[in-house]
């Protein structure tokens, strides 16, 4: 029997010719990414276990991207960034994106590929569950805790179980108004929030091939919301062109064999997807947006690793251009690069920020994770009361965006923007006619 | 073979208890490797449970729980990779979570830290318990069970994982195995 792309990458990383689901193997990491929320704890574990004078296994392999609690007055959050700064200085780490300096990047999952840290065929561990995003570049990427990260930091290795793979084959062409977010929400709705627990979720087919890099990232980003260990899309010309434009490092592309073994294969027709939303309090409570016209919202939020990339804002701007929002609408570019690109991107001669301002959106937030996960109480866009927020983020658990009394409805940028215009959950097709 | 007994009151929860409910994100400014912040994380364990949960896991103003055993349904610990989640439970005095299934990263973090035993059940047994029931878990190799009110429920074996947790986490285990 052949192997899947995930198995090929893990075989290479463990120095074996073949691995099978369930094998416990030591794999070598290419990249370990951490941020301000889990970095200090990871460094604490690293020093406790390897000693105060220990050095990281590979300076080039450690990437530190503070992004969670940056624009807050909370003194502990500032202390945490200082812990990262001291460590970077002590270790002489070259890949640090320091807040308040020109190197500051923003949300780690968007910043990693922008800065050339995502390469096909590699193994990327990150202290964040949405590390699965980077499977969009044909690599094995997964989230780990501080202790495992401390282990990787010292040894460059981690003991992992080879996941069984589930294949999602999407044939055909997505309809206007349907985005990658709708595809992954529908899949999560079908599988349930634990439907892919411990599994690799492999996405393929003409509809996936047709997606841009930004959109592929959205799909892989939410693999964790179905319990997946990693999401993955084999690299093609689009991937290789993107990666080569961001790094000079060499890499190897893998793809699944035709006779690879899958735990299950799901086949979808792209034309069957519709703009959809996930209602509180679970990402698998998925309904078509058109079925929920009476569902009132109080605010809209466009941002995060899932829905704060350039194409997400272009989609929202297409809907909001020349129209007025009826609810408070928050715009938070994921990274500084995305923010700059939004200043350059023009629709009808207007840049995206002009479109959002004219539509009556709130003053845009600074690039960061912001209110996607609530955060400290002074976080921009945080739901501090009983708000119902339609959001392009990834989770809608109780209290996820702040107050335990608030509610989050997950949607694509098109659907979030359309809903902002009406104050109710709205199918964006109504504005695309 | 060593025998481990965990005895005390149970705290009963439903399906899909996510990491935001276990430790809300506003407390992620605390660093688990700083001893006083480790303890503080414990005082916030399960503070994100919605209001329909009438009983708090930690009594108001307290630092530790009176419930060393949690019994839940499916997909316990889903969501974030924050190790603060198993750590807050462990710091509060939780010794074992019994659930019909666990989310992958939470499960792994329990093992790597050695904070608590994540024990799976073949069927959902949470419905047979109510918060405050006295119970006793026995872990003796592959034989894992819980007894309460005179009834005994067989739990799934921890397999290879038991040795890692008993060693105190992945570092001690890797040292024993000669990996580091």
Residue ranges per domain, chain A? 5-268, 278-432
* Domain B9-135 = CATH 2.40.50.140: no
Q: Give the mutation candidate from A54, A143, A191, A194 for the B interface (greatest B CB count, under 10 A).
A: A194
Contacts of B32 in chain A (CB under 8 A): 41, 44, 146
- What pLDDT score was predicted for residue B1? 59
Contacts of A146 in chain B (CB under 8 A): 32-33, 83
The DSSP element (H or E) to which A231 belongs, if any, is strand A230-232
Confidence band for B93, pLDDT divided at 50, 70 and 90: very high
Give the distance from residue A304's alpha carbon to the nearest chain B alpha carbon, in angstroms.
15
Integer Rg of chain B from CA: 15
Under an 8 A CB cutoff, do B26 and A229 touch? Answer: no
- Compute the C-alpha angle A333/A337/A342, nearest 5°: 60
CA distances (Å), origin A72, targets A34, A38, A68, A404:
19, 17, 10, 20
Report the C-alpha gap between A241 and A260 in whole angstroms.
Answer: 27
Question: How confident is the model over A178-227, as pLDDT tens digits?
Answer: 999 999 999 999 999 999 999 999 999 999 999 999 999 999 999 999 99
Nearest CA in chain B to A38: B82
Give the distance from residue B68's alpha carbon to the nearest chain A alpha carbon, in angstroms.
23
Instruction: Answer for the pair A418, A292: CB distance below 8 angstroms, yes or no.
Output: no
Instruction: Answer for the pair B155, B146: CB distance below 8 angstroms, yes or no.
Output: yes
Nearest CA in chain B to A230: B104
Under an 8 A CB cutoff, do B170 and A148 touch? Answer: yes
Report the C-alpha gap between A177 and A412 in whole angstroms.
Answer: 9
Give the distance from residue B149's alpha carbon to the nearest chain A alpha carbon, in angstroms.
31
Instruction: Answer for the pair A28, A157: CB distance below 8 angstroms, yes or no.
Output: yes
CA distances (Å), origin A195, targets A169, A190, A217, B18, B118:
16, 8, 20, 15, 19
* pLDDT surpasses 80 at B53: yes
Under an 8 A CB cutoff, do B179 and A157 touch? Answer: yes
Under an 8 A CB cutoff, do A398 and B25 touch? Answer: no
Is A377 in the B-facing interface, judged by CB distances under 8 Å?
Answer: yes
Report the CATH number of the A5-268 domain. 3.30.499.10
Give the distance from residue B15's alpha carbon to the nearest chain A alpha carbon, in angstroms.
10
**ipTM score assigned to the predicted complex:** 0.97
Under an 8 A CB cutoff, do B25 and A76 touch? Answer: no
Give the distance from residue B135's alpha carbon to the nearest chain A alpha carbon, in angstroms.
28
Fold for the domain defined by A278-432: Aconitase; domain 3 (3.30.499)
Burial class of residue B35 in the structure, from the number of CB atoms within 10 Å of its CB (0-12 exposed, 13-18 middle, 19+ buried) = exposed
Mean pLDDT of chain B: 96
The structure tokens 């609408």 sit at: A329
The DSSP element (H or E) to which B162 belongs, if any, is helix B161-167
Give the distance from residue A158's alpha carbon to the nearest chain B alpha carbon, in angstroms.
10
Question: How confident is the model over B103-147, as pLDDT tens digits?
Answer: 999 999 999 999 999 999 998 999 999 999 999 999 999 999 999
Under an 8 A CB cutoff, do B79 and A198 touch? Answer: no
Q: Which of A48, A282, A374 sits opposite B24 (nearest CB)?
A: A374
Is B31 in the A-facing interface, judged by CB distances under 8 Å?
Answer: yes
* pLDDT surpasses 70 at B167: yes
Is A156 in the B-facing interface, judged by CB distances under 8 Å?
Answer: no
Confidence band for B179, pLDDT divided at 50, 70 and 90: confident
Mean pLDDT of B30-55: 97
Under an 8 A CB cutoff, do B29 and A49 touch? Answer: no
User: Pairing mode, if any, of strands A200-204 and A276-278?
Assistant: unpaired
The separation between CA B66 and the C-alpha centre of its own chain, rounded to angstroms, equals 14
Confidence band for B160, pLDDT divided at 50, 70 and 90: confident
Report the C-alpha gap between A9 and A254 in whole angstroms.
Answer: 7
Contacts of B84 in chain A (CB under 8 A): 41
- What pLDDT score was predicted for residue A145? 98
What's the full length of chain A, in residues? Answer: 433
* Residue A421: both structure tokens together: 């215009």
Contacts of A154 in chain B (CB under 8 A): 180
- Classify residue A85 by its DSSP letter: H
Q: Give the mutation candidate from B40, B102, B105 for the A interface (greatest A CB count, under 10 A).
A: B105
pLDDT under 70: residue ranges of chain A: none
Under an 8 A CB cutoff, do A38 and B108 touch? Answer: no
Under an 8 A CB cutoff, do A76 and B21 touch? Answer: no
């Amino acid at each position: 029997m052949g192997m899947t792309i995930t198995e090929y990458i893990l075989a290479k990383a463990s120095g074996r010719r073949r691995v099978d689901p369930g094998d416990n193997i030591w794999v070598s990491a290419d990249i370990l990414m951490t941020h301000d929320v889990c970095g200090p704890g990871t460094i604490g574990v690293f020093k406790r276990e390897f000693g105060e004078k220990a050095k990281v296994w590979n300076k080039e392999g450690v990437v530190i991207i503070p992004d969670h609690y940056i624009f807050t007055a909370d003194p502990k959050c500032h202390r945490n960034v200082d812990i990262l700064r001291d460590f970077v200085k002590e270790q002489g780490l070259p890949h640090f994106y320091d807040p308040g300096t020109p190197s500051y990047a923003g949300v780690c999952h968007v910043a990693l590929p922008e800065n050339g840290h995502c390469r096909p065929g590699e193994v990327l561990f990150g202290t964040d569950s949405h590390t699965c995003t980077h499977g969009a570049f044909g690599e094995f990427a997964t989230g780990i805790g501080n202790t495992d990260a401390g282990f990787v930091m010292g040894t460059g290795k981690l003991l992992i179980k080879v996941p069984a793979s589930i294949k999602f084959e999407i044939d055909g062409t997505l309809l206007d108004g349907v985005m990658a977010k709708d595809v992954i929400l529908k899949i999560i709705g079908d599988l349930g929030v634990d439907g892919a627990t411990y599994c690799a979720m492999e996405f393929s087919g003409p509809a996936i091939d047709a997606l841009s890099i930004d959109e592929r990232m959205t799909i892989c980003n939410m693999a964790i919301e179905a319990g997946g260990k990693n999401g993955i899309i084999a690299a093609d010309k689009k991937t290789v062109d993107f990666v080569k434009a961001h790094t000079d490092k060499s890499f190897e592309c893998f793809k699944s064999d035709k006779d690879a073994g899958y735990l299950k294969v799901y086949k979808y027709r792209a034309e069957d997807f519709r703009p959809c939303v996930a209602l509180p309090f679970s990402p698998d409570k998925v309904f078509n947006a058109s079925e929920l016209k009476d569902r009132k919202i109080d605010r809209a939020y466009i941002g995060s690793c899932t829905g704060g990339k350039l194409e997400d804002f272009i989609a929202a701007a297409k809907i909001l251009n020349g129209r007025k929002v009826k609810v408070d609408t928050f715009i938070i570019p994921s990274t500084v690069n995305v923010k700059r690109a939004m200043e350059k991107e023009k629709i009808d001669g207007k840049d995206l920020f002009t479109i959002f301002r004219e539509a009556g959106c709130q003053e845009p937030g600074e690039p960061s994770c912001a209110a996607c996960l609530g955060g400290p109480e002074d976080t921009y866009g945080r739901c501090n009361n009983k708000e119902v927020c339609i959001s392009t983020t990834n989770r809608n658990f109780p209290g996820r965006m702040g107050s335990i009394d608030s509610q989050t409805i997950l949607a694509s940028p098109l659907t979030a923007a359309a809903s902002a215009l009406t104050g109710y959950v709205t199918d964006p097709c109504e504005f695309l006619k | 073979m060593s025998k481990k007994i965990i005895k005390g009151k149970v705290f009963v929860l439903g399906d899909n208890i996510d990491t935001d409910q276990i430790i809300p994100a506003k407390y992620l400014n605390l660093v688990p490797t700083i001893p006083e912040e480790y303890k503080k994380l414990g005082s916030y364990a399960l503070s994100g449970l919605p209001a329909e949960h009438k009983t708090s896991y930690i009594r108001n103003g307290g630092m530790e729980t009176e419930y060393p055993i949690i019994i839940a349904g499916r997909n316990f610990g889903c969501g974030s990779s924050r190790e603060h989640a198993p750590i807050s439970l462990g710091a509060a005095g939780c010794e074992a979570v019994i659930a019909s299934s666990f989310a992958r990263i939470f499960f792994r973090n329990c093992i790597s830290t050695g904070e608590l035993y994540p024990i799976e059940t073949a069927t959902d047994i949470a419905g047979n318990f109510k918060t405050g029931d006295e119970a006793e878990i026995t872990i003796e190799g592959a034989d894992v069970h819980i007894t309460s009110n005179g009834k005994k429920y067989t739990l799934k074996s921890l397999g290879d994982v038991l040795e890692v947790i008993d060693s105190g986490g992945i570092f001690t285990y890797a040292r024993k195995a000669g990996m580091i």
